[in-house]
Every structure is written in C-alpha cells, then in structure tokens.
Amino acid sequence: MRRVAGGDEGAVGEMYDRFGTLVYRMAYQAMPTRAEAEDAVQEIFVRLWRTAERYDPKRAALVTWVMLISRRHLVDKLRRSRARIRPTSMDDGPVQIAGAGALESLPAERRERFGALMEKINALPDLQRTVVIRAYLGGQTLRQIGEEMSVPLGTIKSALSRALVRLRERTSEDPT
C-alpha cells in the first residue's frame, strides 16, 4: 500500500490482481446488475488508490482493509440509489399518491388526515411542493434535490423552510 500511495502504477496493478476477484464477487452479490458490479469495482479501486496513505498495517490486514473499503462503498452506492426518486418537473401538478392501496390498511381517521395533508402540500407553490415531496415522501437529501433540479442548495433550503411554515400555519388554522 505504501507503493500505491507513492503513485507506483505497478503496485496498483498488483493490488487489482490480488484482490480484484474478491472485490468483484462482493460487488456482484450486492449490485442488481453485472454492469453495476463492474462499475462498482472500478470505483472501489479508485477509492483504494486515493486512500492508500490511510492504510495502517498495525490496525488491520490488507485484505480486511480492502474488504472494509469495498463494503462501505457498496453500502453508500446502494443507499444513494434507493434514495433517488424519478426526477419530476414542477409542471407535473398535484401529486397522486403511489401505492394508495397501502393507505386502505390504515384506520379511516389516519387516511383522512393524510389526505388533508396531501391537499395542503399540493396547494403549495411549485418549488415548495416539489421540495417537500422529494424530501419527506421521496427520502432525498436537500443536496440531491438541488442537484437533480439544478437549483442552488440555499434556494432548496429556503423553499423547504417556507413550505413548512405555510403547512404549520394552514394546519393550525384547520381544526381537523
């Protein structure tokens, strides 16, 4: 790893020869497709190369360190892919609740409250509505929302803040 940290290209090749199959097997088990597994392996070896100076042989065997970096990368990649939702346009209008059948299993009172909340969310201005839906119903981070919409992070944060104030005001006005 000292040679890798020093920029020795031969050392990177040796590391790939030594651990490539092991990392690929792990990626192939975790990723949904072969292509994604191959991409993940490349990304993992780039990460190993970039973090080579952090490796401490006193703390862990090299194989342990490689597998730990691999596992962390794969978990991060899977979390990011699950957190993404289909990019939508602000012109899409009111949201239709996906999986509405799941709502049928809720008590009637909760369904009504959820429906009333969705009406209030759908009444928000476009940007505010989109940010609330993506952040709270879609599970995206504000940074992800900003990147997908090509809107500055500060604007996204402001839109969310204003939306929550509006929703609180409308909820306190509504006796239900």
pLDDT for 40-89, tens place per residue? 999 999 998 888 889 888 988 999 989 999 999 988 888 877 655 444 44
pLDDT at 98: 47
Beta carbons of 70 and 98 less than 8 angstroms apart = no
Q: Count of CB atoms within 10 A of residue 85's CB?
A: 16
- Classify 25 as helix, strand or coil: helix
Residue 43, H or E segment: helix 34-50
168, 161 Cβ separation under 8 angstroms: no
pLDDT value at residue 172: 74
Predicted TM-score (pTM) of the model is 0.47
Instruction: Calculate the CA dihedral of residues 135, 139, 145, 147 and round it to 10 degrees.
Output: 160
Q: Give the integer Cα–Cα distance in Å for 47 and 67.
A: 12
The full set of domains in the chain, from first to last, is 2-83 (1.10.1740.10), 90-173 (1.10.10.10)
